Chain A
Amino acid sequence: MDNTAKKNQGGPASWFSALSAHPVLWKRMMLAVTLVVLILFFVLPIVRLIWLSFTEDAVPTWQHYNEVLSDAGTWTVIQNTFWMVLGSTIMTLLLGVFMAWLITYSDIRAKQAIHVMVMLPFIIPSYIITLSWTQLFRDSSWFSGILQWLPGNLETPDLYTLPGMIFMLGLSNYPLVYLFTVAVLRKIPQELLSAARASGSGKWTVFRKITLPLALPGITGGGLLAFLANLDNFGIPAFLGIPGNITVLSTAIYQEVVGFGPSAFARAAVLSVLLGVIALLGTFLQWMLLRKSRELETAHEETGPRFRLGVWRFPAETAVWVALVFISFVPLSSMVSSSLLSAYGVDFSLETITFSNYSYILFENEKTQGAIGNSLMLALWTAVTALIAGTILAYYRVRRPSTLTRSTELITGLPYALPGIVLALAMIFTWMEPIPGWNPGIYGSIGILMIAYITRFMILQVRGSMTALMQVDISMEEASHVFGAKGLIKWRKIMLPLLLPGLISGTMLVFLTSFTELTVSSLLMSAGNETIGVTIFDFEQAGYTHYSTAFSTVVVVLMLMVIGSLMLAHHLWKKKVVKT
């Protein structure tokens, strides 16, 4: 450290420079501060939650568990959750693996376009997708008209049921399995399959003995990820299950807290611990599998087609496109058309079109305006904080791997591994009275939302930044040192220009997820601090479908604008610097 010049100056800066003249001491202090902050924000809430589920007025007790587990209602809830998660996970696996296999190995055309279409439901929040399907399937929609016109007494399916929830979860989360499986399938070297063929085994044997065993850890990992997403999801059970009177664990916790019954918090804590334990077990299993499938990671990805569909290519392409376009656009267009109607049940025609819902949301209703402002601000701050803090954590994790940096990754991942509703409850317990008898006023303000968003989504940025960092060879950094630049100059001139596109994709994910967040906000919001997700949920619960659809449309348009401008920026950057 070259601070000898500053050393003898007096004033408030002197202790600082004295400290930085001792790099080891300085490093230790930074490390200690980081650890304390991480534990305070990321670990303590979970400890608080578990503690509360086991105590009554600070006295340890099993009472809450006894109470909750002996309640027949709890078992119905657990049963519902079990079937919902099982059904939707099977659906995501079937859809995801099939699509992945078709895209990676077949000679189907326009793979890039199909890929984007598959990923679409991943970007749009699941409650908006659900809202759009309810509009497609409502009694007076054009779709139900067609079904009635067709012979056979067809009716639009009722989405407000367990199968309806399974269907929506499956559609929302299959891109997870798809993404995972695509990566795994591409990493299986074509040569391994060719070697098996050359050793005399047929196509089916190759699939059974080579492809499947190699792909299985990856597919199972993707399936577990989907399982966790299905378990964590709050939007779909809230939008479909609450009106349909089918309660699952996430909505049960929500209703306990919102209902404010006697010992509601303790009961919610017990349910949360149950849900949290299942989720953490799933995460642990997934992590183990991921470690196992790492063996393939060194192999480079092969993207060429591995089998030809032949005469089946055109029919297959047609089927895939019809299905994808239907899934992606038809419900959304129903949602848009609903938003253009003045009242529920009015037939859609040129005369009935009105923009009054939009003008109400955008210009007349203070609550929606406030929600857009709040969500925008929350998303922006969350994204910026995560970008800076997450990238610093990622830097140390990638460049100085140690037990310590690995555990910081684990700690930051914890709030995301927990279901959102569980984290929200833990946040309430922590920030209502951080120290007994002292309420800093964070709970009930927008501050608690900010803390919750940052802790929950930080890991997304950490992972994004880690990926970006791993793609920048360490020699880039070493060259910068050799030629005289370290610290700020190194970051400004070398690291940021190289990392930015990679960092931004993580930041975009954090921004968009925060922008449309529903689960955590539903428990943590307070009057005047509503977010977009909560406002749409409120409209829907109150039966103002034309407002909820209009607001959802606005949100989707805003999101597409953000994504579009970022993609444009990325494209411009890529034109300037093509990866070598």
Chain B
Amino acid sequence: MSATLQDVRKTFGDTVALSSIDLDIKDGEFIAMLGPSGCGKTTLLRLLAGFETPTSGNIRIDDIEAVEPGHMVPPEKRNIGMVFQSFALWPHMKVKEQVQFPLDHHKYVPDRFKKQKKERMKEVLEMVGLQHYADRMPNELSGGQKQRVALARAVAAQPSLLLMDEPLSSLDAGLRLEMRREIQAIHRKTETSIVYVTHDQSEALAMADRVIVMNHGSIEQIGSPRDIYSFPQTEFTAGFVGKANMVPGTFTPEGFHPLSDTDIVWPCTRVASTFIENGTFPVRPEQFQLNQHGDGLKGRVVNSQFQGKEMHYVVEVQGHSWTVDTPADVQLPIGEEISISLTGIETPSPSQTVHVYS
């Protein structure tokens, strides 16, 4: 067990930043904390790092009580590494000095690295492909190279927990994809547990073993990227991760009647209980199908955007606006009357709780 949070609460004055968080981070696990800004994910990360003290609750890192009532281990005495959003490279130190800093000062440096700091420094720089940049100053590096130095510095002392605070948000789009692969490679090589904070759902889905979706200071859902995407447990997760449309209607033993239209039945064997209770059915844009003729709900195209490999439509159905993604060859003019139906539905993995309406 690499880290455990037990009933952790954090309030700033009257505002509740985190309400009762329980979480186990397993050894070697890559966890992505996903949520909109202000959802508490950064606060959670800073609690793990030790920059904030929880209002109540316990935190264990690597079998050491990092936080218990009346006692807190400061960041410099936790077995952690961190990649900051702004990289936080010290502008007055060469690349090699940045990487060597944790080797000189970190409390948990393994003995074999302590004896051979230079070798370890070179090894880590090689890992991120910067072996020829050891003598550069931070201002002589590109954004991607700075990011690599920040990564190298974070893993140099081989911490048992690696914290990443939106590390890719200050890079441009192309570089971001490249750095994702880099971070995955480092995770494979170091086998360190990673807690990765992001507001970008594609980053979380692409890299993590488990995704934690957070909203308003609490955890909405924890699960594998595939489950989070395909089988959201809450409306928030469905909307934030899958950009799903919430279709109101009625659940009956036959299935789901969208907009309570008794003529139309959508199969609904795999919808979470919250949706059934609320009488809404989450449909991601690509799960809809638009037809110029045929059965289904009747609607009208109100907006269209060409995206290259697909089309993004906004369709109005009985006063509801839904987004629909179709293959690029589906071309419908604005104002066109269409019928809208459902396409493929995924099969859940065995771990996923499935609520069968009966």
Contacts and interface: CB of A to CB of B under 8 A. Distances in A.
B169 to A, nearest CB: 13
Contacts of A485: 76, 101, 104-105
A494 interface: yes
A483 B105 contact: yes
Contacts of B51: 478, 481
Given A483-B153, A577-B91, A478 B75 contact: yes
A482 B155 CA distance: 11
Given A482-B76, A482-B82, A483-B106, A576 B88 contact: no
A365 interface: no
B89 interface: yes
Q: Which interface residue of B50, B74, B105, B138 has the most chain A CB atoms within 10 A?
A: B105
Q: Which of A476, A494, A497, A498 has the most CB of B within 10 A?
A: A476
B106 A484 contact: yes
Interface of A: 2, 473, 475-476, 478-486, 489, 493-494, 497-498, 576-580
Contacts of A480: 76, 90, 101
4 smallest CB-CB distances across A and B, nearest first, come from A484-B105, A475-B88, A484-B106, A483-B102
B357 interface: no
Nearest to A482: B82
A481 B84 contact: no
Given A481-B75, A482-B49, A489 B139 contact: no
Nearest to B99: A483
A498 B90 contact: yes
B91 A486 contact: no
Interface in B96-134: 101-102, 104-107
Interface in B130-154: 137-139, 153-154
B86 A475 contact: yes
B139 A578 contact: yes
Nearest to A577: B92
Contacts, number: 81
B124 to A, nearest CB: 13
Contact of B157 (A483, A486, A498, A580): A483
A471 to B, nearest CB: 11
Given A482-B80, A486-B76, A578-B139, A497 B92 contact: yes
Contacts of B232: none
B197 to A, nearest CB: 14
A399 to B, nearest CB: 12
Interface of B: 49-51, 74-77, 80-82, 84-86, 88-92, 101-102, 104-107, 137-139, 153-154, 157, 163
A473 B165 CA distance: 15
Given A473-B86, A475-B84, A577-B92, A483 B101 contact: yes
Contacts of B91: 498, 577-580
A578 B140 CA distance: 9
A304 to B, nearest CB: 23
Contacts of B105: 483-485, 489
B47 to A, nearest CB: 13
Contacts of A486: 74, 76
B211 to A, nearest CB: 24
Contact of A482 (B81, B90, B104): B81
B274 to A, nearest CB: 38
B111 to A, nearest CB: 15
B138 A580 contact: yes
Contacts of A479: 82, 84, 88, 90, 153
Contacts of B84: 475, 478-479
Contacts of B88: 473, 475-476, 478-479
| Residue of B49, B91, B106 contacting most chain A CB atoms (<10 Å) | B91
20 contacts: A2-B77, A473-B86, A475-B84, A475-B85, A476-B90, A478-B75, A481-B50, A481-B51, A481-B75, A481-B76, A483-B101, A485-B76, A485-B104, A486-B74, A497-B90, A497-B92, A578-B137, A578-B139, A580-B89, A580-B139
B62 to A, nearest CB: 15
Nearest to B82: A482
A569 B107 CA distance: 36
Contacts of B137: 577-578
A578 B138 CA distance: 9
A578 B139 CA distance: 7
A473 B90 CA distance: 10
Residue of B50, B85, B102 contacting most chain A CB atoms (<10 Å): B102
